[in-house]
Amino acid sequence: MLTLKEKVKQLPETPGIYYMKNAQNQVIYVGKAKKLKQRVSSYFVNSKAHANKTKQMIRLIDDFDFQMVDTEFDALVLECETIHALRPPFNRLMNHYEEYGYFQFLDTSPFFKVLDDWSDKGFVIGPFYRKSKMLEFKDTMNSVYHLEGPLRYAKGVVADYQNISPNEEFLLRLEEIKQTLLGRSTEVLTRIEERVEAASSRKDFETAQRWWSNYLMVERFLRRNRQLLQATNDSVFVGILPENNKYYCYLYAKGQLIGRTIYQRKPQPEQAYRRLLKKVSANSWQKLQEKKYLDKQDVDLFPIFFNYLQRNGQVNRFSWPEQ
């Protein structure tokens, strides 16, 4: 029987994913590799660079398995799907989608909520990464827009009360937050900046610093989740990846990678789109059209698709196909 190091020597230098297993044959870690042999062998070399958790995992490795794919991108996608399916204990990323959540806007109190699961009540946006950050965002929105507490109707925030009722103005506050989360407005950041400047002009530097921290948190939250907003609407994305003297083309819609094709010569995006469409049945398109929202499990795929293919190839956006 081969030792682990002997088994590593037989690995190919091709893209793929690997499964680390313990003595009970349980998968304890799943990883992706551009070159399987190079990546897996790194676990079996004494290195001070290994994190403590990695060292702990290595001590438990009794065997490993692997699966080859065509490209590093295919490995990333398969890694994500496998982690979601197996939930290996030593995988941190893509292994906690339960921590994602949704924002809910209501016409009655409490008006603006963070939800664990989708609701058909009110206006719901999401899922967003992650619930703890969502609660921080919500607290900052409460501070900026006075959504709760005795100051709720003390004065207008987005408009004064001369030409509008307090209730109407309050709904405008909620609408401004909603448009921010939809990626259509940056007014929230402007309002926080104004509070930073006002506190600084009073030489209240502690308050200014607190508002500036809020600004950075909101800006990071919106940037981190911007791509998810694109994934939720009725758009279709085609990614084109040049690799191995070929062009790998992928079709993404509403949280799912639904088509893949290969060209020997570089195609035009519209050409790839037309071919990919033919690979998807009318029934599948109908089901996607009826899909109202992304599940939490859908969250991790789009950043992989968008970031990797933008960096190493190209991503083109198309309108939803007519049936």
d(CA 255, CA 87): 19
Looking at the fold, whether 117 and 224 belong to one and the same domain comes out as yes
Looking at the fold, whether 77 and 112 belong to one and the same domain comes out as no
Looking at the fold, whether 69 and 117 belong to one and the same domain comes out as no
Looking at the fold, whether 118 and 164 belong to one and the same domain comes out as yes
* The domain boundary residue, chosen from 207, 228, 249: 228
| Domain contains 313 | yes
d(CA 59, CA 46): 12
* The domain boundary residue, chosen from 37, 64, 86: 86
d(CA 201, CA 296): 44
| Domain contains 93 | no
| Domain contains 308 | yes
Mean pLDDT for 208-232 is 88
Mean pLDDT for 115-130 is 92
Looking at the fold, whether 256 and 224 belong to one and the same domain comes out as no
d(CA 22, CA 62): 5
Looking at the fold, whether 208 and 105 belong to one and the same domain comes out as yes
Which residues span the domain enclosing 61? 4-86
Mean pLDDT for 118-140 is 93
pLDDT at 47 over 80: no
pLDDT of amino acid 282: 86
pLDDT band, residue 95 (cuts 50/70/90):
confident
pLDDT digits (tens, 9 = 90+) for 85-94: 999 999 988 8
The proportion of the chain whose per-residue pLDDT surpasses 70, expressed as a percent, equals 98
pLDDT band, residue 317 (cuts 50/70/90):
very high
Domain count, the chain: 3
Looking at the fold, whether 71 and 121 belong to one and the same domain comes out as no
Looking at the fold, whether 106 and 221 belong to one and the same domain comes out as yes
* The domain boundary residue, chosen from 172, 204, 228: 228
| Domain contains 222 | yes
Tokens of 212: 């500036």
Looking at the fold, whether 24 and 59 belong to one and the same domain comes out as yes
| Domain contains 91 | no
CATH number at residue 55: 3.40.1440.10
Mean pLDDT for 287-311 is 89
d(CA 11, CA 283): 41
Tokens of 255: 């949280």
Mean pLDDT for 11-34 is 97
Looking at the fold, whether 136 and 210 belong to one and the same domain comes out as yes
Tokens of 32: 């992706």
pLDDT band, residue 323 (cuts 50/70/90):
low
| DSSP H or E segment with residue 120 | none
| Domain contains 92 | no
| Domain contains 209 | yes
Residue 137 CB partners (closer than 8 Å, separation 6+): 217, 218, 221
| Domain contains 94 | no
Tokens of 193: 């900046």
d(CA 259, CA 305): 13
Looking at the fold, whether 74 and 194 belong to one and the same domain comes out as no
Q: What angle do CA 53, 58, 64 make, to 5 degrees?
A: 130
Q: Which pTM was predicted? A: 0.83
pLDDT band, residue 9 (cuts 50/70/90):
very high
pLDDT at 233 over 80: no
Tokens of 65: 């398995």
pLDDT at 216 over 70: yes
Looking at the fold, whether 132 and 152 belong to one and the same domain comes out as yes
